[in-house]
Structure 1
Amino acid sequence: MIFNSLRLLKHPLRLAQSIRASDIAYKWQQQLGQIYEKQGKTELALKNYDAAIANMAQVRDSLLSTNGDLQFSFQDEMEPTYRNYMRLLLASPNPDLKRVIQINEGLQIARLENFLRCGKIDLVALNQLQNLNSALAVIHIIDLGNTIELIIQSTDGSFHHHSVNSKKVRANVDHLLETLQDEELSSTDERVIISYSQAIYEKLIAPIKTYLPPSGTLIFILDKSFQSLPMGLLYDGKDYLIKHFSIAETLGSRVRQPKSLHKDQLKALIAGLSKDSPSFTDPNAPQGSKPLLQTAQEVKDVEKQTKSSTALLDDKFTIKRFEEELSQNNFPIVHISTHAQFSSDPFKTVLLAYDKVINIKDFGSLIKGTTQNSQDAIELLVLSACQTAKGNKHSVLGIAGIAVQAGARSTVATLWQVDADSTAQVMREFYKGLKNGETKAEALRLAQLSLLSDPKYKNKPYHWAPFLLVGSWL
C-alpha cells in the first residue's frame, strides 16, 4: 500500500516539477517526506522536506510580492513541514545544528511576515554579524510537540544541543503564563511565581549552564508560547536570571544590524496620554482604558535624560502631529507612553493616540516614509504602559510586528500594564544608563535591578519583570 502511495505521488510530482509549479509540487513533497520518514528512509525524507520548504518559500514570496493581504494558509500548510524537518534533523546522532537554526529562522520570519501581511523583511542573521560581544551567548528554544529543543551558541562560537520532554516543561510554562496574565498579579505571592519559574529554569537553563558565560548578554530566540515569557524571571533557586545577565529577544535569530546608541543620539520624540481621550471609546481600544496619571511625569523624566526632545502630551498627541514631527525631524528615539495592546491578531495590535486608535498597519504607514527609506532609522522605540492580549500566547508577534513596522533597531515594551510609579522609575533609570554609555540591554537590566533593590518592589515581579527588549542589544 505504501509502495502504491509512493508511485501515485511521484508521477504528479514529476509533472509539477517539469512545469515549475511550486504551488503544487510542495504538497507532494510534504507527503513523500512523511511516507519516507515512516519507512525509516531518513535521507529521502530530509530531501523531500527540504524541497517542500524551498517550494513553499517561492509560493509565499510570490504571494507577498503580489499582494500583502493575500494569505497563504501558513498554519495548516507550512508549519508542520518545518517542524517535521527539524525533528528529523535532530534525531541524527550528529545533528546539523546550524541547519536546524536556519529552518527555525525561516519558520519564525514566515510567521511574522504572515502576521504583518507584508513583503520580505530585511533582517540580518546573527551568525552573519561581525565583532559580536565576546560575552554574548545565543539560546534557541524550539517547540517540536513532544520535545522542547535547546540549541546554544556559546561565546566561543561552538554549538550545543539539549532536548527535554515537553511534559516536564509545558505545564509550568502554562501555569506561569496564566499567573502573569491574571488581573490579580500585583497581589500574587512571589513564591507562587518562583515555583513555576524555578521549575522552568531547572529543565531548560540548568542543563545548559556550562555552555553559558558567568555574565554578559543572553540572546533568546523563543518559539510559540515561550515568546510571552520574560526570561529574566527564571529563578535558579537563589537569584533571578536578570541578576546575572542582560537579556534580549530576537525573531528567528534575525535582527536589524546592531548598532550602539551614542550619547549625541539621545534625541527623542516623546508622546503620551495622561488624561481621558476620545480614543478610549474606540471599539478596538484595550478594554478598561483609564487615564495614565503618571505619564506627564514620565514625559518630563525622559526629557531630562535626553539631549534634546519634543514632547506631545495628551491633546497634542494626535496622529497628524505625530506624523508631522517624524517627517520634519530626525529622532533616533521614539518614546510612547500610552495604552497599547499586542496580540497575534494584527487588528487587535493597537496604540492609542489622543484622537484615534493606531493599529499596526497605520503605525507602519505613519513611520515608514520617514525611517525605513532613510539612514536615520529609529534606533530605539520605547512603548510604555502597554500589555499583551490576555490569554494570547503568541502576543509577542505584535511587539515584533510593531518593531518591524517602525523600522526600529531595538524596541522596549512591557508584557503587561505595570504600575505607573514603578514604570516611571524604570524609564528614568533606563535613560540614565543610556546616558552613561551602557548598551540598551544592560541599561534595561540595571533599571530593573533598581526595582529589585527597592523595598517597595523587591518581592513583586509584577513591577520589574515585564520589560522586554526586542532586537539589537547594543
Structure 2
Amino acid sequence: RGAWQLGRILKQQGDITGAIAAYQGAFEHLQSLRSDLVAVNPDVQFNFTESVEPVYRELVSLLLQPTLTKGQAEEASQANLKQAREVIEALQLAELDNFFRDACLDTKPVILDEIDTQAAVIYPIILQDSLGDSFASRLEVILSLPNQPLRHYGTQLPKQKVENVLQQLYSSLYPGYSSQQRLRLAEQVYDWLIRPAEADLANSGIQTIVFVPDGFLRNLPIAALYDGKQYLIEKYSIALSPGLQLFPQGLEREELSVLTAGLTKARQGFAELPAVEEEVKEIASEVNSQILLNQDFTRTAFEKQINGIPFPIVHLATHGQFSSNPEETFLLTWDERIGVKDFDVLFEKRRLGILKPIELLVLSACQTAAGDKRATLGLAGFALRSGARSTMASLWSVHDESTADLMSEFYRQLTQTNPPMTKAEALRQAQLTLLRDVKYNHPYFWASFVLVGNWL
C-alpha cells in the first residue's frame, strides 16, 4: 500500500517515470502475495475492487500514457506496451483468483506467433482518469499481431460514457428494440475497438480475432459489432480468452464423439426447455453421441460417464446461470444443481491428465445473472474448472429452435476433415447460417454464443 500511495503522489507531481517505478513495486508485491490474498478468511476478505484492482488499472494507465521527449509527445514504448499487456493479463487472473477464493490457476506464458499466425489478440481496458475535480473514461486497446510490434490506440470519453453505451448495446440486443438504434450503438463500440485496427488486421491476413475483454465488455457479444455495412462475424472468426497465459497447449484432432446431457422438462422451479429434444437429436445426427436426457441426467449418471469413456466433447443443454458469485453459478441436473466448484471434483481426472482432457465443453441454455456486470466470471469459472480446452456458451438463454439449428450446423462444420475447421470458424459458419435466415437474422438468435479458450 505504501508503494501504491507513493506512486499516486509522484503521478500528481508529474513524475511519471517515478510513479511507474512505485506502481511496479506495488504490482510485484501483489503478484508475490497472490495465494495469500485469496486465502484470507472471507469474513475479513479485502475489498478486491477497492484495494487490489486499482493498482493494476492505474499502472496500465501510466504505462499507456504518451511520454514527453524533448518537448515532443511520443507513443508508449514497446517495453511499456509489453508490460501493460502483462498487467492486463495479471488483472484477469487476479479477478478469477478472487472469484474462486484460491490461486489455483496454472499459468504458462505463451507466444501468439507459435499458436496461430492468422490470429490477432485485442486487449481492451477501461480506465478512469482524474481531470481536476472531474473524471474521464479512457478505453485503451493494445493490439497484438503475429510477428509484429504491439500497437496501441485509445479513446477519451466523458465519465460513464463507455459503461452507458455498453449497457445500452446489451439492452438493444433483444427483439423489440429499435434496429436502427442497435446498429448505431454497435457501430459506436466498433469504432472504439476495431476501426483503428482495420488496416492492420487486413494487411496481416488475420482470420481470427481473440478478445481478452475487460469489465462489461465481457457480457457483450463481440460478433454483433457493426462497421456500418456488416457485422464483425461476417469478416472474422471470434474467440474470447481470460488471458493467453491460461491457453492450454496442444490440440488433438480425432474422431469426434459427444456426451450430450439435457433437460426438456421443468425442474426445480425452472421452465421446460422443449427445444432441447430437437437439439439433442440434431447433434446425434451429426456426431456419434451418448445421451442423458431428463431422468437419465442425474449428477451420479453424469459423473459416471465423465469418468468413463473419454468423450472429447461434453454438451450440456440445461438451465444454468453464470454469476460473479460462485455460490450462484450452477448447472441444473434432474435431481440437483452442480456448482462451479463441483466441477473440480467432477472433472478432476481430466484436469490431472489421468483421462484425456475435454476438447470442448458446450453450455447451450445458460444465461448470465441479470444485473451482474461481472457475471461472465462464472462462465470463465466453468471453463477453467472443467479443464476443457475450449468452452462454448450462451450469454443469454435463447429458448427457441434457432439454438437447435445453430448447434446442428456447428457440429456439421466441426466434423469436416478436408480441410479441418477450427472451432472458432465452425461457430462463425453456424452463426452466419442463422444470420442469413430471415427468421433468425436478429443478433438475439445468433450472437449469444461465445467461444472461450482455445479457438483452434
Does residue 455 of the first structure (1) align with residue 435 of the second (2)?
no
State how far apart, in whole Å, the 1-side matches of 2:250 and 2:286 are.
20
* CA deviation string 1:73-126 (max 9, x = no partner): 322111111111111111133331111000111011110111012223123334
Kindly state the Cα deviation for residue 274 of structure 1 after the two structures are TM-superposed: 0.6
1:114-193 aligned within 5 A: 114-127=98-111, 129=112, 131-145=114-128, 146-167=137-158, 169-180=162-173, 185-193=174-182
Kindly state the Cα deviation for residue 57 of structure 1 after the two structures are TM-superposed: 2.0
Letter in 2 for 1:268: V
1:361-400 aligned within 5 A: 361-374=341-354, 376-400=356-380
Kindly state the Cα deviation for residue 189 of structure 1 after the two structures are TM-superposed: 3.9
* Kept in 2: contact 1:263–1:434 (CA 8 A): no
Kindly state the Cα deviation for residue 451 of structure 1 after the two structures are TM-superposed: 0.3
Structure 2 unaligned regions, length at least 5: 68-73, 129-136
* CA deviation string 1:240-297 (max 9, x = no partner): 0000000001013333325445242x122111001123xx23xxxxxxx211111112
Letter in 1 for 2:281: K
In structure 2, relative to structure 1, the CA distance for the partners of 1:309 and 1:67 (3 Å cut) is: farther
Higher mean C-alpha displacement, 53-62 vs 364-373:
364-373
Aligned position for 1:97 = 81
In structure 2, relative to structure 1, the CA distance for the partners of 1:67 and 1:362 (3 Å cut) is: farther
Letter in 2 for 1:404: L
Does residue 304 of the first structure (1) align with residue 285 of the second (2)?
yes
What is the TM-score of this pair, normalised by structure 2? 0.90
Kindly state the Cα deviation for residue 300 of structure 1 after the two structures are TM-superposed: 1.8
* Kept in 1: contact 2:113–2:146 (CA 8 A): no
State how far apart, in whole Å, the 2-side matches of 1:340 and 1:236 are.
33
SS state at 2:19 partner: helix
Kindly state the Cα deviation for residue 417 of structure 1 after the two structures are TM-superposed: 0.7
In structure 2, relative to structure 1, the CA distance for the partners of 1:130 and 1:212 (3 Å cut) is: closer
Kindly state the Cα deviation for residue 51 of structure 1 after the two structures are TM-superposed: 1.1
In structure 2, relative to structure 1, the CA distance for the partners of 1:67 and 1:316 (3 Å cut) is: farther
In structure 2, relative to structure 1, the CA distance for the partners of 1:237 and 1:126 (3 Å cut) is: farther
State how far apart, in whole Å, the 2-side matches of 1:70 and 1:334 are.
38
* CA deviation string 1:319-375 (max 9, x = no partner): 111111111221111100001111111111111111011121123322223434436
Q: Count residues with an aligned counterpart.
A: 431
Aligned position for 2:131 = none
* Kept in 1: contact 2:126–2:138 (CA 8 A): yes
Letter in 1 for 2:378: G
State how far apart, in whole Å, the 2-side matches of 1:244 and 1:70 are.
48
Higher mean C-alpha displacement, 98-107 vs 390-399:
390-399
Letter in 2 for 1:396: T
Letter in 1 for 2:53: E
Letter in 2 for 1:178: S
The structure 1 residue matched to 2:325, chosen from 345, 357, 360, is 345
Does residue 317 of the first structure (1) align with residue 297 of the second (2)?
yes
Q: Kindly, what percent of the aligned residue pairs are identical?
A: 39
In structure 2, relative to structure 1, the CA distance for the partners of 1:225 and 1:302 (3 Å cut) is: same
Aligned position for 1:471 = 453
- Pairwise CA RMSD: 2.0
Aligned position for 2:273 = 292
Structure 1 unaligned regions, length at least 5: 1-26, 282-288
Aligned position for 2:36 = 62
In structure 2, relative to structure 1, the CA distance for the partners of 1:370 and 1:200 (3 Å cut) is: closer
Kindly state the Cα deviation for residue 69 of structure 1 after the two structures are TM-superposed: 9.6
In structure 2, relative to structure 1, the CA distance for the partners of 1:275 and 1:261 (3 Å cut) is: farther
Aligned position for 1:8 = none
* CA deviation string 1:41-88 (max 9, x = no partner): 222221211111111222232354788998443221111111111111
Letter in 1 for 2:452: V
Higher mean C-alpha displacement, 44-53 vs 334-343:
44-53
* Kept in 2: contact 1:60–1:72 (CA 8 A): no
Letter in 2 for 1:272: G
The structure 1 residue matched to 2:24, chosen from 41, 46, 50, is 50
* Kept in 1: contact 2:126–2:215 (CA 8 A): yes
State how far apart, in whole Å, the 1-side matches of 2:346 and 2:35 are.
25
1:21-32 aligned within 5 A: 27-32=1-6
* Kept in 2: contact 1:255–1:409 (CA 8 A): no
State how far apart, in whole Å, the 1-side matches of 2:107 and 2:285 are.
33
Kindly state the Cα deviation for residue 449 of structure 1 after the two structures are TM-superposed: 0.2
What is the TM-score of this pair, normalised by structure 1? 0.86
Higher mean C-alpha displacement, 209-218 vs 319-328:
209-218
Kindly state the Cα deviation for residue 186 of structure 1 after the two structures are TM-superposed: 3.2
In structure 2, relative to structure 1, the CA distance for the partners of 1:68 and 1:130 (3 Å cut) is: farther
* Kept in 1: contact 2:34–2:103 (CA 8 A): no
The structure 1 residue matched to 2:227, chosen from 236, 250, 254, is 236
| Bigger helix fraction | 1
Kindly state the Cα deviation for residue 299 of structure 1 after the two structures are TM-superposed: 1.3
Higher mean C-alpha displacement, 207-216 vs 294-303:
207-216
State how far apart, in whole Å, the 2-side matches of 1:403 and 1:434 are.
19
